[in-house]
Structure 1
Amino acid sequence: MRPLIDLAYRARRRLLALTGWATAGAKVMVHDRSGRLLLVRNRYGRTDRWVLPGGGIKRRESPQAAGAREVLEETGCRVTGMEATGVFQSKAEGRRDTVHLFSGVTDDTPVPDGVEIAEARFFALDALPKGLSPATRRRLDEIAGRRQPDGRW
């Protein structure tokens, strides 16, 4: 299954870069009640990177609903108290992408879906994993006041 997911991922990236098609997605900073942050490691693309859960927004779906759906699909966690944190622009992978960021809380234990997600775990903010994605690091630094938001994902 993994070779097919990798192939589909690479083909989609290439197509979006060639067409210049704009996409929109949602990411969620999900915390547990003790303040730990939920991070996932994908089974495609940069599998060594820990990122925020999230994904694409479906037609006629709100960004907030997409974020909650993606977290549930990828980790089995239901998010409550979701609040908008910001909207960012990305030109990574040669495409134009708008990323809507939310924050929320869960009482659930993450279980990776096994298809898209290889690992899903909570991490204390002072003990983040090696391989944290640069975009996730920027968001954490902005929230902590160590960096000014610049609108880029």
Structure 2
Amino acid sequence: MNRLLQFGWSLRRRLIGLLRLHTRGVKVMLFNRRSELLLIRNGYGDTGLFVLPGGGIARREEPLAAARRELAEEVGIADALLRHLGDYQTSAEGKRDHIALFHGTTDQPLRIDGHEVSEAGFFPPGNLPQATSPATRRRVREWLDGGPFSGAW
């Protein structure tokens, strides 16, 4: 299953890059009651990096609805209170991507499927795993500094 996910992700990424499509996505900075940040490792793409949970926004889907859907799909959290923090642009994966960043808290336990997400956990913002992505580290630094929450991803 993971090979199939990896192949599909790679093919989709190449097609989007070739066609120079504009995509929309969401990321969520979700904290538990101990102020620890949720990070995940995907089961596809760069599987060695911890990143913020998130994903694509479907056609006619609102960003907030996409953020809620992604949390439910990736880590089984269905009722986090989320608020919009800001908007970012990136071309890091060969596509023009708009990312809406959300913040929220939860006290629900994590539930991952082991396919799309291979690992998830809560970490103190000042003590992230060594394998945390540079973009995630930038978002955490912005959070600790109080913003701004916009610009380049």
Provide Cα deviations, 1:9-66, integer angstroms capped at 9, x if missing partner: 1100100000000000011101011111010000111111000001011111110110
Amino-acid identity (%): 46
Report the CA distance between 1:76 and its aligned residue.
Answer: 0.5
The 1:146/1:69 distance shift into structure 2, 3 A limit, reads: closer
The 1:151/1:72 distance shift into structure 2, 3 A limit, reads: same
- Does the CA contact (< 8 Å) of 2:32 and 2:106 recur in 1? yes
CA distance in 2, matches of 1:54, 1:79: 15
Gaps of 5+ in 1: none
Q: TM-score, normalization: structure 1?
A: 0.94
CA distance in 2, matches of 1:23, 1:84: 18
- Is 1:23 aligned to residue 17 of structure 2? no
CA distance in 2, matches of 1:125, 1:88: 21
- Does the CA contact (< 8 Å) of 2:26 and 2:57 recur in 1? yes
Residue of structure 2 equivalent to 1:38: 38
Residue of structure 1 equivalent to 2:128: 128
RMSD over equivalenced CA pairs, Å: 1.5
Report the CA distance between 1:81 and its aligned residue.
Answer: 2.3
Gaps of 5+ in 2: none
CA distance in 1, matches of 2:149, 2:81: 23
Q: TM-score, normalization: structure 2?
A: 0.94
Helix, strand or coil: the match of 1:66?
helix
Provide Cα deviations, 1:100-134, integer angstroms capped at 9, x if missing partner: 00000111111222221000111112221111111
The 1:108/1:102 distance shift into structure 2, 3 A limit, reads: same
- Does the CA contact (< 8 Å) of 2:30 and 2:106 recur in 1? yes
Helix, strand or coil: the match of 1:69?
helix
Aligned pair count reads 153
CA distance in 2, matches of 1:95, 1:72: 26
CA distance in 1, matches of 2:134, 2:55: 17
